[in-house]
């Protein structure tokens, strides 16, 4: 006797609304009020991690001043959906432009990012004219949450590599009816977008990256000043700034216990990244508002996704900054305080069909949050030639 065939995977795209209960918000505030603080650092800088006084200030505002309902309302102003792909419910924002000639664009976030970092981009990309742009630069925008992040389902099995995510994104765009589209990303979003570029699924016209994976597989002995800076910033990234990457790449579940139980711990875990990777004058708050940072932190808290999001490091722990050679059209924007920052020579060597190279005047690793206007302008310019 043979087993019956499995039921077909649903391709239904279902509406989704963000709704966090009052009880969950009350629980967060109670936990914050009961925080047991560590002893202060023994140095006068951030070299041991987040400074106690800065953490207390941020957490105090999270408890007493921050308004989650504001972000919830902002998210719910945009059409959101769930759809099952490869056995997993994927959450995404989908905003169609009023311009029928708009280019479909899928935007992918990284860690500790989320869909919230793109909220300020959606209006200018889908409806450029009110923001000083040209209607000819309109995009339909699709913003999915990575598996295990935000309101996407958490994988219960291994194997969700960036290549598998890229395949899911290609299916998502096909399911939405798009036959010609582009992709953009930074951080892990750039890894997924690079995987799409290597895969070249049907319909993908080109990509824009604000994080580039273009180190040579073998670093040459003789380096230009720009190449040496790239090597030095990569050493900082993997060294002093690499603690969370290493822990999440080796023991994501262990750190997940602490972050799932302590909102102050979750806040510090992400706050340190904003401190160390933004274009600031000494404090993350120079580059980002407390609300911007707590929007990101709160989404991780309320979705209890510390461990599930960390596994993207574990699933892809063999990856390096020496990405694949790409032949499809690639546009890049280099932000001055990104870490690592790659030289143009290596970018040109890796992307043989480089259709745009831009250097932003300011900004760091979190381009969409730090400099949304610059990133919007660069996406428009970088992908414009693909419209013909």
Give the residue numbers marked as catalytic: 187, 313, 365
Place of tokens 């799932």: 260
Q: Please, are residues 5 and 35 in contact by the beta-carbon 8 Å criterion? A: no
Residue 274 CB neighbour total at 10 angstroms: 25
Which residues lie below 8 Å from residue 56, measured CB to CB, with a gap of 6+? 37
Per residue in 213-245, is it b (16+ CB within 10 Å) or e — as a string? bbbeeeeeeeeeeebeebeebbeebeeebeebe
Virtual torsion, Cα 218, 351, 188, 66, nearest 10 deg = 130
Which of 312, 327, 322 is closest to 245 using CA atoms? Answer: 312
Per residue in 365-381, is it b (16+ CB within 10 Å) or e — as a string? bbbbbbbbebbbbbbbb
Q: Tokens for 151?
A: 């309101």
Residue 361 CB neighbour total at 10 angstroms: 9
Q: How many whole angstroms separate alpha carbon 92 and alpha carbon 20?
A: 17
Q: How many whole angstroms separate alpha carbon 368 and alpha carbon 183?
A: 15
């Amino acid at each position: 006797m043979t087993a019956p065939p499995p039921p077909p995977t649903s391709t239904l795209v279902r509406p989704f609304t963000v709704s966090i209960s009052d009880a969950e918000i009350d629980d967060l505030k109670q936990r914050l009020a009961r925080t047991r603080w560590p002893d202060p650092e023994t140095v006068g800088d951030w070299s041991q991690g987040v400074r106690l006084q800065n953490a207390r200030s941020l957490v105090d505002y999270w408890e007493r001043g921050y308004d989650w309902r504001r972000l919830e309302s902002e998210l719910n102003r945009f059409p959101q959906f769930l759809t099952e792909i490869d056995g997993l419910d994927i959450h995404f924002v989908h905003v169609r432009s009023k311009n029928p000639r708009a280019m479909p664009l899928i935007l992918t976030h990284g860690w500790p990012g989320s869909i919230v970092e793109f909220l300020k981009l959606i209006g200018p990309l889908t409806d450029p004219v009110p923001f000083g742009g040209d209607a000819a630069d309109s995009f339909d925008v699709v913003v999915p949450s990575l598996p295990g992040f935000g309101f996407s389902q958490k994988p219960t099995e291994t194997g969700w590599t960036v290549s598998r995510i890229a395949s899911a994104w290609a299916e998502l765009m096909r399911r939405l009816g798009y036959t010609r589209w582009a992709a953009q990303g930074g951080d892990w979003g750039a890894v997924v977008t690079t995987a799409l570029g290597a895969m070249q699924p049907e319909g993908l016209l080109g990509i824009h990256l604000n994080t580039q994976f273009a180190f040579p597989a073998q670093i040459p002995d003789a380096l230009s000043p720009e190449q040496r800076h790239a090597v030095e910033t990569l050493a900082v990234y993997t060294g002093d700034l690499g603690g969370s990457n290493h822990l999440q790449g080796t023991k994501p579940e262990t750190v997940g216990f602490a972050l799932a139980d302590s909102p102050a711990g979750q806040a510090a875990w992400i706050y340190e990244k904003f401190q160390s990777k933004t274009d600031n004058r000494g404090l993350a708050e120079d580059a980002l508002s407390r609300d911007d940072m707590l929007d990101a932190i709160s989404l991780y808290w309320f979705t209890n996704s510390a461990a599930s999001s960390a596994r993207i490091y574990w699933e892809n722990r063999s990856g390096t900054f020496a990405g694949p050679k790409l032949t499809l059209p690639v546009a890049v924007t280099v932000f001055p305080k990104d870490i690592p920052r790659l030289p143009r020579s290596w970018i040109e060597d890796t992307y043989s069909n480089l259709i745009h190279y831009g250097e932003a005047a300011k900004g760091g690793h979190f381009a969409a949050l730090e400099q949304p206007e610059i990133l919007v302008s660069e996406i428009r310019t970088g992908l414009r030639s693909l419209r013909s």
